[in-house]
Amino acid sequence: MVTGVLTRRAFVGCGALALWSGGACRAFAQPQARLAAIDWGMYETAVAIGVTPVAVAERIRLAQVSAVRVPGSVADLGLRGAPNLEALSLVAPDLVLSSNFYGFITPQLERIAPVYARDLFVAGEAPLPKTLVALETLAAQLGMADAGRTRRAGIEAELDALARRAASLGDRAICLLAIGDARHVQMFGADSLYGGVLTRLGLSNGWSEGTRFAFTAPVPLARLADFPDARIVVCGAVPVAVRHALAGSVLWNSLPAVRAGRVHFLPDENPFGGAPSALRLARHVVAALEAA
C-alpha cells in the first residue's frame, strides 16, 4: 500500500535532505526543494502551498485543465502511467510526488529520488477531505507547515461561503458528468472529487453509484433517462464534433433535463486534481445554478 510518508526504500536516497527519525524521514530543510509530480492532484497540492514542481507528467494536458498555473518551464515527463524515467532523472528531483494510482511504478521512481505518495482517489472513499489534508501533510514534509495550514484554512473558508450561497439552490438533484462521445458519459459519484464538491456544498448528487476511475466515459448516455427530474451539469468542454452529434441525437434531445433547459456546461475541469480544482468546480457549479 502506498503511504503518505516517504517509503522506507526511498529513505536510502534521502541523503542530506532528510534525517531518519522514528521510522520516517523528517521534513526537508529547504522549502524550495525540487519536486517532480507524476500525479496531477499532488502537483496542484504543491503549487497551492507555494512550490511549483520542476516537472510533471502530461504537462500540456494538465495546463489545459488544471486550476493552478503550469508554466512552460515545467518539464514534461510523458504519460502519467508510464513516465519517461530518463527525463525524470535529468531534472534531478529531490522528491517525486505520486499517488496510489501509480504504485506499480514506485520501485522505478525510487531509483531516481524518494517518493512521497498519497492515496487520494480510492473507490468508495471521498477524495475531497484527503486533498485538503494533503495541503498540510505535504507542506509539513517540506518544512512549510504554516503555509499548508493557511492555504487549507483559506480554501475551507471559501467552500463554506459557497455552501451558504448554494443553500437555496438545491431544489433538484444534480448529475455531474463528462461527455466522452455522443453515446457515452462519465458519471461522478460521491467517491469522486466532483461528487465531494456537491456534498460539501450541501447539494444532492443524482448518481448514487460509485465512480469508475478511468480515462474513458464508460456509462451509456441512455442512463441519464433514469434521472428525469435532475439537473445535468457537464464538467469540461465538449468537442465540436460531439456537440454537433448531440444536437441531432434523438436520445439526447428526449432527455427531460435537455427538453426543460436544465443542462449546464462548465469550462474544462480536472477530475483528478487536488483541492484547487475542487474549489474551482465549486465556484463554477454555484455560479451556474445561480444563473439558471
- Which set of grid coordinates corresponds to residue 236? 469540461
**Residue 245 burial (CB < 10 Å; 0-12/13-18/19+)?**
middle
Question: d(Cα 230, Cα 98) in Å, to the nearest integer?
Answer: 36
**pLDDT given at position 215:** 52
DSSP assignment letter at 263: E
**pLDDT given at position 25:** 42
In a domain, 260, yes or no: yes
- Domain end position, chosen among 66, 96, 119: 119
pLDDT at 123 over 90: no
Show the domain range for 102: 8-119
Of how many residues is the chain composed? 292
Least confident of 55-59, 138-142, 205-209: 205-209
Confidence of residue 29 (pLDDT cuts 50, 70, 90): very low
Amino acid at 231: R
In a domain, 30, yes or no: yes
Answer whether 121's CB lies under 8 Å from 98's CB.
no
Question: How much of the chain exceeds pLDDT 70, in percent?
Answer: 87
DSSP string, 11-50: HTTTGGG--EETTEEPPPSSTT--EEESSHHHHHHHHHTT
In a domain, 148, yes or no: no
Q: Residue 202: left (phi > 0), alpha (psi -120 to 50), or beta? A: left
- Number of domains within the chain: 2
Question: d(Cα 39, Cα 155) in Å, to the nearest integer?
Answer: 21
Reduced to 3 states (helix: H, G, I; strand: E, B; else coil), residue 97 is strand
Same domain, 82 and 182: no
**pLDDT given at position 216:** 55
Q: pTM of the entire structure?
A: 0.88
Reduced to 3 states (helix: H, G, I; strand: E, B; else coil), residue 86 is helix
Same domain, 113 and 54: yes
- Domain end position, chosen among 90, 119, 148: 119
Confidence of residue 161 (pLDDT cuts 50, 70, 90): very high
Same domain, 198 and 102: no
DSSP assignment letter at 205: B
pLDDT at 3 over 50: no
Same domain, 163 and 252: yes
**pLDDT given at position 32:** 76
Average pLDDT of the segment spanning 240-262: 96
pLDDT in tens, 178-191: 998 999 999 999 99
Same domain, 177 and 247: yes
Same domain, 181 and 284: yes
In a domain, 3, yes or no: no
In terms of Cα–Cα distance, which of 33, 38, 41, 67 is closest to 55?
38
Same domain, 283 and 179: yes
